[in-house]
Structure 1
Amino acid sequence: MSNTPTGQTARLVISWTLVAVLLGYGIIQTLITAAKLFTS
């Protein structure tokens, strides 16, 4: 891995965290919707 400045690393961590949160949120919403469909 290349020797990146601290600011760039922080931005990378923040962007990946945002991606993970959005993906997680989408998965949770899908599971809730699926649960509602199957339990109704």
Structure 2
Amino acid sequence: RTHSWLNRFRGILIRWTKKATHYTAMLHLACGIITWRTTGLLG
């Protein structure tokens, strides 16, 4: 399930950046957004 949620983020699905640190930052941001959505803290 997690992989399908991560595939919704285009920056992760299609790796636009060349540097690994940028990709890792995008991955962390996506995981944070997914966690935020699933916990129901959106309002």
Q: Same fold (TM over 0.5)?
A: yes
Identify the TM-score tier after normalising by the shorter chain.
0.5 to 0.7
User: Structure 1 runs of 4+ off > 6 angstroms?
Assistant: none
Q: What RMSD, in angstroms, separates the aligned Cα atoms of the two structures?
A: 1.8
TM-score for the superposition, normalised by structure 1: 0.57
Task: Tell me the matched-pair count.
Answer: 27
Query: More helix by proportion, 1 or 2?
Result: 1
Gaps of 5+ in 1: 28-40
TM-score for the superposition, normalised by structure 2: 0.53
Gaps of 5+ in 2: 1-13
Q: Which has the higher contact order (CA 8 A, sep 6+)?
A: 2
Structure 1 or 2, whichever has the larger Rg, is: 1
